[in-house]
Amino acid sequence: MKTKKTSEAITPDLSLEFCTECNKALDNFAFSAKSKSKKKVQANFSNCKQKGKFKGELCSKVFISEDEIFLTPSEED
């Protein structure tokens, strides 16, 4: 008797906790001129970390301002 091989699709856990301590400053941030300057966004992020305001795994503003963020390792690694 032939049996079918079944394989379950394994989905990696990609859940991230975004820091949203900026609250209202995140509204329309993607459309603001501030989001275009990666140096200013990184400086803001560093300032938040230094002051202890950063809560999460990834800064929302950094995520918005980045062109590419890889959440999974590339196949080359």
User: What does the block give as tokens for 11?
Assistant: 């989905």
- Tell me the C-alpha distance between 62 and 64, whole Å: 5
Largest distance between two CA atoms of the chain = 67
User: What does the block give as tokens for 65?
Assistant: 């301002």
The mean pLDDT of 64-69, rounded to a whole number, is 79
| Per-residue confidence (pLDDT) for residue 52, from 0 to 100 | 92
Q: Are 65 and 42 in contact (CB under 8 A)?
A: no
| Per-residue confidence (pLDDT) for residue 77, from 0 to 100 | 46
Q: What is the pLDDT of residues 5-53, one digit of tens each?
A: 666 777 766 677 889 898 888 899 989 888 888 899 999 999 999 999 9
